[in-house]
Structure 1
Amino acid sequence: MPWFKIDDKAHSHPKWLKAGNAAIGLFVRAGSYSAQHLTEGIVPGAVAQLYGTAPQAAKLVKVGLWHDSSHDCPRCPQAAAGDFVIHDFFEDGRNVTKAKDEANKKAAAGRAAKSRAARNANQNASENASNRSRFADENETNRGRKEPHFQDSAAGQKGSSHRTPASSAADAHATTTPYPVLSFGENGAPPTTERAAAYPDRLTDLKKAIAAAGIAGIEWRLRESQWEYTRQAVERVGIPAMVAYAVRSAQLKGVPNGASAWVDGWTSLEATPENGVTYLPAVVGLPSTPSRTDQKVAGGLSLAARLAAEENAR
């Protein structure tokens, strides 16, 4: 923003003393107008009439602070008829020209753009460093987490369990094969049909129960360890308790993109009487009068209980 500047000795200058306070008031207001609108010292006649009187304008012309349209000062531009010119408006660089002001604004805009670019670069670098640190911490945590160890007796190596058909030793061994990651690999390609078909999806019942509870659009891209933790949770606490946890988490935090957001919570669940289906409405915090959402949750839990019962009966 340009300024209208005057000398610090102007208050005692002979021209100011001869003009008087009233005319000097017009001089200062008109000079401020010229600086704001970049008229380069030109004072339109309408502005002079707005801020002062004709005698005051005439006095400024008489003492030499202003020129009218018929002046012969070689240092000042000519004004249109009825307008005035402030004498020596640019003397000693006190006031800036329109071209200089535009150049100053352009330079300031350039400096601001460089400053924003530098801030953005620093912010991006900081975020990248933070992300690298977070990923490193997560990798370190994953490396420190022990994979579950199964004894041969628990893995079906010494005879078949009540769920394993006693058709052959090879079939019994196949049921203990670790379940793979059924998500896309590092190269973005989906698993081959032969590989995916070789491993049955042991979480089908859990997926159906969560969908029946009204939670849709969940991706099941789990790492091998997450897949195994989830399967263990199914056997430890049952599908109804896991559905209840997922519903409560969705109500409090919103529906996540993928089921991996629930794995840590499922891992921390313990098999207690409160995990039974009859206790779930109180755990989830549902109102006493069932709503449509409550009915979906109840239906999902009922389906989960039925699927668990069918699984136990096999």
Structure 2
Amino acid sequence: MPWFKIDDASHSHPKFMAAGNAALGLWLRCGAYSAQHLTEGHVPAAIAKAYGTPPQARKLVAVGLWHEPGHDCPRCPQPAAGYVVHDFFEGGRNSTREQVEASRKGAAERAAKHRDSKKGARSARESDANRTRIDDESDANRERNAPQFPDSTAGQEGSSQRTGLEGGTTPHATATPSHSTSYGSGVAAASEPPVRAYDTIADLKRAIADAGIKGVSWNLQASQIERVRQVRDRIGIPLMVSMAVSNASYRGAPGKASAWIEDWEGLEPDTTDEPGVTRLPVVRQQQPSPAAARRNASRDYLDELSAQLRAGGAQ
């Protein structure tokens, strides 16, 4: 799992002090988004609008924590759209896409090697146990099948191996013939192929294809189709297409449309009634966990300390 790392002295950096806590919240969330999705410091405009406000984004650009297309910083790449985090790779504190993928590949190979070694050891133990069991059974069978000749019958006439056949009873029971199985005699019939439901998200598929995203498989389970339909009814197709286009511009189009579902479900429309203005979705608020509550308390303390420092500088 990649991390979005910052310097431990950044809390008092002039750019941080000038940006203010609200804009820094946007900077932090978008930096974590970039680390998670391996965009290497690039922040899609849709994500910036979902996590903050235009004034906050302009504040980050003004103080130099973000750059827009056409910037003149020699150390940072030019974003095709949206923004780029200033000095995202400075000092090697954040990893490139290539480094993260190489690390993941190495971890997967080590895990596979460990599983194979455990599987080989288990197979060897099972083989030894089976070989011991077979040897024991062979010894027992040889002892059980050995002919028995009691001393009491040795040299006596009239003893015959056919004894017991005189009454018409054979020494071996006749095997009961197996009944043939006829159609419908209890064998479960082949299950019917699943009935395909009416395509209730065809309008969303067409909208995404019209936006230029091709080659995405829509082979979704019934539960996934229902989740997509509920999101569409809640936030509308244009916002879902906007998020899909934004993600595809940096991560490439996914192989399956199911990769978008969680991102779509994490959005909700802005209900501000403003004539002629279309809002992008905003992230739904969740109840903070105990760890998040502790972080919020630490943040409040730092806010108060920063305010005291600013007041002392003004004097």
TM-score, normalising length from structure 1?
A: 0.49
Choose between structure 1 and 2 for higher RCO, CA contacts under 8 A separated by at least 6 residues.
Answer: 2
TM-score, normalising length from structure 2?
A: 0.49
Greater helix share, structure number: 1
Q: Max radius of gyration: which structure?
A: 1
